[in-house]
């Protein structure tokens, strides 16, 4: 019996979300349709008859249950986007059936640089919060290393500094997307 469901543990960094969109489109073409996208794993269902364009957006207001969430999802629904799911930290997966005769540019959810910039800034806030946490952790390990006179704790400091460096590089990569979009 052939498989009808599969789980993928392939993970993407936030700043590679556009690569994830491309991969989702490829999987859809191959008959694997996204059921649930996630930061750590994604699930797919086999459906060879369907083909979707997948788009990922960042909007933490989807995590609340208020009017703003409804307002947000309505704009996608109105333009034929089906809301698949949102991750715990606010990434939203949408998909739209591919229709013959539709221009590729009509599948764009951001059509000007200002709104795209605002989306990247929404994510930038999350990255900033994460970076502050990481730095606090790095300093804590440093203090403990000195207080306990146990240099082994410095490994924690180095690990968190490494994370800080990684996230900062990612933020730069994310910001570069805006310039790419403009050129």
Partner 1 sequence: MIKNEPLTESYFYILLCLLEGPNHGYGIMQKVKELSNERVTIGSGTMYGATGNMIKKAWIQETKSDDPLDARKRLYCLTAPGKEILLAEYERLIFCIKSGEKIIKKGSANE
Q: How far is the CB of 37 from partner 1 (least distance, A)?
A: 16
Provide the minimum distance between the beta carbon of 160 and partner 1 in the complex, in angstroms, as a whole number.
33
Task: Give CA–CA dist 4/32, Å, rounded.
Answer: 9
Taking the complex as a whole, the smallest distance from the CB of residue 115 to partner 1 amounts, in Å, to 4
Q: Tokens at residue 138, please?
A: 């790095």
Q: Report if residue 171 touches partner 1, rule: CB under 8 A.
A: no
Distance CA 50, CA 40 (A): 25
Question: Is residue 76 involved in binding partner 1 (CB under 8 A)?
Answer: yes
**Residues contacting 13, CB < 8 A, separation 6+:** 170
Which parts of 90-129 interact with partner 1 (CB under 8 A)?
A: 94, 105-106, 108-112, 114-116, 118-119
Q: What distance in Å separates the CA atoms of residue 49 and residue 12, rounded to the nearest whole number?
A: 27
Task: Name the token pair of 126.
Answer: 């999350």
Looking at the Cβ atoms of 44 and 94, the one nearer to partner 1 is 94
- Considering the complex, what minimum distance in angstroms separates the CB of residue 113 from partner 1? 9
Nearest-approach distance from CB 17 to partner 1, in angstroms: 13
Which of 11, 26, 75, 128 is in the footprint of partner 1 by CB under 8 A?
75
Residues 6+ apart with CB under 8 A from 135: 160, 164
Alpha carbon distance 177, 31 (integer Å): 29
State how far Cα 57 lies from the chain centre: 7
Residue 65 lies near partner 1 (rule: CB under 8 A): no
Q: Which residues bind partner 1 (CB under 8 A)?
A: 57, 59, 68, 70-72, 74-76, 78-79, 81, 94, 105-106, 108-112, 114-116, 118-119
């Amino acid at each position: 019996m052939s498989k009808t469901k599969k789980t993928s543990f392939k993970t993407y960094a936030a700043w590679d979300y556009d690569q994830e969109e491309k991969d989702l489109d490829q999987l859809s073409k191959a008959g694997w349709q996204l059921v649930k996208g996630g930061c750590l794993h994604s699930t797919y269902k086999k459906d060879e008859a369907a083909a979707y364009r997948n788009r990922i957006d960042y909007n933490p207001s989807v995590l609340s249950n208020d009017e703003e969430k409804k307002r947000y999802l309505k704009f996608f629904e109105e333009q034929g986007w089906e809301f698949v799911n949102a991750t715990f930290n606010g990434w939203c997966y949408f998909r739209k059936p591919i229709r013959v005769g539709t221009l590729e540019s009509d599948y764009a959810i951001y059509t000007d640089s200002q709104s795209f910039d605002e989306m990247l800034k929404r994510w930038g806030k999350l990255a900033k919060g994460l970076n502050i946490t990481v730095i606090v952790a790095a300093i804590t390990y440093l203090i403990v290393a000195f207080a306990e006179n146990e240099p082994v704790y410095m490994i924690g400091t180095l690990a968190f500094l490494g994370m800080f460096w990684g996230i900062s590089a990612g933020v730069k990569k994310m910001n570069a997307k805006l310039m790419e979009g403009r050129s």
